Chains A and B, each alone.
Chain A
Amino acid sequence: MEFTIDFTKEQIESIEEILQKELIDLGVQSVILMDLAGNVIVNLDSGESDHDVFSLAALAAGNYGAVSAMANIIGEQEFSLLFHKGEEESIHFSKVVDDLLLLTIFNKNVSLGFLRLKVGEAIKRIQSLI
Chain B
Amino acid sequence: MALINPKKREVQVKIVYYGPGRGGKTTNLEYINRKFKKRILNEMVTVKTYGDRTLFFDFLPFDIGEIKGHSIKIQLYTVPGQVKYNATRRLVLRGVDGIVFVADSMDLRREMNIRSLQNLKENLEAFNKNMSNIPLVMQYNKRDLADEGIPILSVETLEKDLNNQLKSPYFSASAIRGDNVAATMKKIIALTVSSLRKKLE
Contact = CB atoms under 8 A, between A and B. Distances in A.
Interface residues of A, number: 26
Given A2-B94, A12-B6, A35-B3, A55 B59 contact: yes
A69 B45 CA distance: 22
Contacts of A62: 47, 56-57, 88, 91-92
Contacts of B45: 55, 58-59
Interface string B33-71: 000000000110101000000001101010000000000
A35 B14 CA distance: 12
Contacts of A52: 42-43
Interface string B77-113: 1000000000110011011100000000000000000
Given A1-B127, A62-B57, A54 B42 contact: yes
Interface stretch (A19-27, A37-45, A78-86, A122-130): A37-45
B6 A38 contact: no
Given A7-B6, A52-B42, A58-B45, A2 B61 contact: no
B48 to A, nearest CB: 13
Nearest to B87: A69
B12 interface: yes
Contacts of A37: 1, 3, 14, 94-96
A12 B11 CA distance: 14
Interface in A1-31: 1-2, 4, 6-9, 12-13
Given A38-B75, A39-B12, A62-B56, A55 B5 contact: no
A4 B5 contact: no
Interface in A31-78: 35-41, 52, 54-55, 58-59, 61-62, 65-66, 69
B7 A13 contact: yes
A41 B4 CA distance: 9
Given A2-B127, A8-B6, A55-B59, 8 more contacts: A37-B95, A38-B95, A40-B12, A54-B61, A55-B61, A61-B94, A65-B94, A66-B88
Interface of A: 1-2, 4, 6-9, 12-13, 35-41, 52, 54-55, 58-59, 61-62, 65-66, 69
5 contacts: A7-B6, A9-B6, A13-B7, A37-B14, A39-B12
